[in-house]
Every structure is written in C-alpha cells, then in structure tokens.
C-alpha cells in the first residue's frame, strides 16, 4: 500500500505489540478480547506491512490493554 502515513501506521502497530507484550497477552488473546481475527491483529502489528486500522479498533485495543490512546500514538 502506498500511503503517505505508512511509517505512522507501522509505529502504531509496534506500539500495540509492545503494550500487549508488557501485559503478557498473546495476539490471539488480544484479538479475541476485541473481536477481530488473530490474523488481522498480526497484520496490524507487523512492521513489514502497512495495515490501516480504524479508531474503533484502536479504542478497543486501548480498553483491552487498559491504556490511553496517547500511548499508541507516540510516533517519535
């Protein structure tokens, strides 16, 4: 996907992966908790893929991980 925000999507995915691991959750556990497939969760976190994600999913992830959205949007 050619997207001018590609690097930001990748950074958000990496932030999700980090927060998930800090909470000692697997991708499957987080995906189940928010109602998406493990494959979609994997694609969101994958640094070699650009997977746009809705704010709805971001907010669900934040609730599941008990973090604020700002944590995931730390880009720098």
CATH of the domain at 60: 1.10.260.40
Q: What is residue 49's predicted lDDT score, i.e. its pLDDT?
A: 87
Asked if the structure places residue 76 within a domain, the reply is no
Instruction: Give mean pLDDT, residues 20-28.
Output: 98
CB neighbour list of residue 74: distance below 8 Å, 6 or more residues apart = 15
Asked if the structure places residue 4 within a domain, the reply is no
pLDDT in tens, 34-67: 999 999 999 999 999 899 899 999 999 999 999 9
Q: Rounded distance, CA 11 to CA 46, Å?
A: 10
Q: Quote the pTM value.
A: 0.91
Q: Rounded distance, CA 58 to CA 25, Å?
A: 16
Asked if the structure places residue 8 within a domain, the reply is no
Q: What is residue 2's predicted lDDT score, i.e. its pLDDT?
A: 61
């Amino acid at each position: 996907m050619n997207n001018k925000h590609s690097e930001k999507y990748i950074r958000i995915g990496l932030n999700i992966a980090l927060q998930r691991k800090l909470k000692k959750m697997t991708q499957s556990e987080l995906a189940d908790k928010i109602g998406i497939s493990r494959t979609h969760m994997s694609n969101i976190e994958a640094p070699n893929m650009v997977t746009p994600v809705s704010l709805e999913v971001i907010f669900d992830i934040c609730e599941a991980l008990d973090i604020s959205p700002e944590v995931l949007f730390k880009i720098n």
